[in-house]
């Protein structure tokens, strides 16, 4: 039996113009699109053929419409039916996108696949806010961390150790865990004066940025009612966001 081919495609951080050329090519030849919510707009979905089957399996914080094991099963099922199956993910498939798990299942089932990188919000959101993650004068190292594990004792993240080890911390999916993360850092001896930025809806027209300190970021995020999706950046480079910010609204 000849199976179809699966493409795990990174849809980027939100702005459809940040899709790679290869991603567009693959989407345009899809027979089936299995897609998430974040980073996958109608503009992106409309690039696929009209007759392509579109299946939404998106996940929101605290609400999983389709469990991951069912998503993986669906990908395999559609691939076995033949044709081109595009698994479309916000950001990059291998940066907290569970792409590795899906690829493992494809290998076990003997299904041909290809992974197409996407621009991760961990890079794009700070960039659009005028925050370089590295800078010769401020930062020579970066860590990208998931905030989902902040409240999970079984999946411990040593926030203080990371804070001491790198110059810039980039936290994805950390808005709802912000208080716990900040508490762990402050309790662990990290200075409350360390600069912090939060970028909400990076690269999209509604993008917003706040810049504060570790000691004031919780109050400031509440004051501005910042919501997911947002990227949290901790480190001296965030101070550059005050003078290097270039993505202005509503001109864009």
pLDDT digits (tens, 9 = 90+) for 65-122: 689 999 999 999 999 999 999 999 999 999 999 999 999 999 999 999 999 999 999 9
Please name the residues in contact with 215: beta carbons below 8 A apart, sequence gap of 6 or more: 186, 192, 193
Domains: count for the chain: 2
Q: How confident is the model at residue 249 (pLDDT cuts 50, 70, 90)?
A: low
Q: Which of 116, 132, 153 is the last residue of a domain?
A: 116
Question: What is the pLDDT of the chain when averaged over all its residues?
Answer: 92
78 is catalytic: no
Of all residues in the chain, the percent with pLDDT exceeding 90 is: 85
Q: Choose, from 15, 36, 92, 167, the residue flagged as catalytic.
A: 36
Q: Note whether 90 and 9 are same-domain residues.
A: yes
Residue 62: give the domain boundaries.
5-116
Q: What is the pLDDT of residues 29-71, one digit of tens each?
A: 999 999 987 778 899 999 999 999 999 997 655 555 689 999 9
- Residue 250, in any domain of the structure: no
Among 75, 5, 4, smallest CA distance to 35 is for 75
47 is catalytic: no
Strand 142-146 and strand 168-172: the pairing is: parallel
CATH number at residue 216: 3.30.950.10
| pLDDT computed for residue 150 by the predictor | 56
Q: Choose, from 5, 22, 47, 59, the residue flagged as catalytic.
A: 59
User: How many other C-beta atoms can be found within 10 angstroms of the C-beta atom of residue 154?
Assistant: 5
Please name the residues in contact with 173: beta carbons below 8 A apart, sequence gap of 6 or more: 61, 96, 146, 147, 148, 228, 229
Of all residues in the chain, the percent with pLDDT exceeding 70 is: 92
Q: Note whether 97 and 29 are same-domain residues.
A: yes
Indicate whether 1 pLDDT > 80.
no
Distance CA 154, CA 148 (A): 12
Q: Which residues of 38-75 are buried (b: 16+ CB within 10 A; e: fewer)?
A: bbbeeebbebbeeebeeeebebeeeeeebeeeebbebb
Burial of 6 per CB tally in 10 Å (0-12, 13-18, 19+): buried
Q: Note whether 175 and 214 are same-domain residues.
A: yes
| pLDDT computed for residue 38 by the predictor | 76
Q: Write down the pTM of the prediction.
A: 0.92
CATH number at residue 54: 3.40.1010.10
Q: What is the pLDDT of residues 159-189, one digit of tens each?
A: 999 999 999 999 999 999 999 999 999 999 9
Q: Which of 116, 149, 183 is the last residue of a domain?
A: 116
Q: Is 55 helix (H, G, I), strand (E, B) or coil?
A: strand
Q: Choose, from 127, 169, 173, 198, the residue flagged as catalytic.
A: 173
Distance CA 218, CA 25 (A): 42
- Residue 251, in any domain of the structure: no
Among 221, 239, 238, smallest CA distance to 230 is for 221
248 is catalytic: no
């Amino acid at each position: 039996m000849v199976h179809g081919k699966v493409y795990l495609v990174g849809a980027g951080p939100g702005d459809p113009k940040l899709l790679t050329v290869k991603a567009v090519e693959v989407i345009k030849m899809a027979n089936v699109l299995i897609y998430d919510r974040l980073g996958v707009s109608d503009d992106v979905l409309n690039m696929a053929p009209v007759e392509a089957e579109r299946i939404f399996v998106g996940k929101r914080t605290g609400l999983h419409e389709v469990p991951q094991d069912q998503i993986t099963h669906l990908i395999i099922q559609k691939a076995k039916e033949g044709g081109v199956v595009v698994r479309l993910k916000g950001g990059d498939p291998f940066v907290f996108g569970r792409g590795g798990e899906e690829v493992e299942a494809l290998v076990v089932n003997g299904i041909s696949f290809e992974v197409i990188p996407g621009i991760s919000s961990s890079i794009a959101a700070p960039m659009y806010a005028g925050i370089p993650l590295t800078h010769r004068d401020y930062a020579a190292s970066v860590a990208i961390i998931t905030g989902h594990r902040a409240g999970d004792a079984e999946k411990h993240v040593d926030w203080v150790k990371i804070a001491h080890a790198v110059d810039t911390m980039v936290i994805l999916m950390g808005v709802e865990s912000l208080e716990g993360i900040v508490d762990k850092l402050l309790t662990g001896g990290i200075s409350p004066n360390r600069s912090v930025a939060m970028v909400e809806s990076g690269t999209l027209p509604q993008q917003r940025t706040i810049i504060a300190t570790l000691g004031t970021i919780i109050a400031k995020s509440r004051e501005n009612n910042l919501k997911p999706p947002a990227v949290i950046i901790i480190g001296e480079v965030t101070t550059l966001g005050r003078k290097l910010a270039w993505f202005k609204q509503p001109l864009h």
